[in-house]
Structure 1
Amino acid sequence: MLKIRLKRTGRKSKPFYRIVLMENLSRRDGKSIAEIGYYDPLTKIINFDNIKLHKYLNHGAYPTNTVRHLIYKMLENQSSTY
């Protein structure tokens, strides 16, 4: 089963996450199938490629709870800026 989840990069005490498509049994920092976006928790920046996100969600990929929460936060920020 494919999942959209976070892959940690960055240094110690300076986390940076890539939002990627992976098999659900692979390791957190293992090989990913596709990169969909990134999340920087220190500066609170969330960025998704909306086309890739919708493509993989429509093809049956499941987001983890954390990624689902990030998607909702990004959509709330987009709707409040217009």
Structure 2
Amino acid sequence: MAVKIRMKRFGRTNRPYYRINAVDGRAARDGRVIEELGSYDPHGSEDQKVKLNAERIQYWLSVGAQPSDTVRSFLKKAGLLKPAAKPQA
């Protein structure tokens, strides 16, 4: 089973709220979740926008889970994922 770390949308019209989850890569966006790892509120205050469970995210990354592009950017900002090395020309 290929595990992905991606966001699942909640909320109402024009007021989205996302949960960051570990899911089977073949599941639908709003499908079954293996584990909830955090949340993202785009309308929240700056210090409350992104909440992450760092310990569990590190575990899932260590067993090969692949984050989505958006989640990858959150992890880089939080210091949980190191930026990819740039190839030298």
Smaller-chain TM-score range? 0.7 to 0.9
Report deviation, 1:71.
1.3
Q: Where does the alignment leave 5 or more consecutive residues of structure 2 unmatched?
A: 80-89
Q: Paired residue for 2:32?
A: 31
Q: Paired residue for 1:61?
A: 65
Q: Paired residue for 2:76?
A: 72
**Bigger Cα Rg:** 2
Higher-helix-fraction structure: 1
Q: Paired residue for 1:5?
A: 6
* TM-score, normalising length: structure 1: 0.86
Report deviation, 1:70.
1.3
Q: Equivalents in 1 of 2:33, 2:59: separation in Å?
A: 16
Retained in 2: the 8 A contact 1:46–1:74?
no
* TM-score, normalising length: structure 2: 0.79
Give the SS at the match of 1:42.
coil
Residues 51-60 or 40-49, more deviating: 40-49
Which aligned segments of 4 or more residues in structure 1 are displaced greater than 6 angstroms? none
Q: Equivalents in 1 of 2:16, 2:42: separation in Å?
A: 7
Q: Where does the alignment leave 5 or more consecutive residues of structure 1 unmatched?
A: 76-82
How well do the aligned residues superpose, as a CA RMSD in angstroms?
1.0
Higher-strand-fraction structure: 1
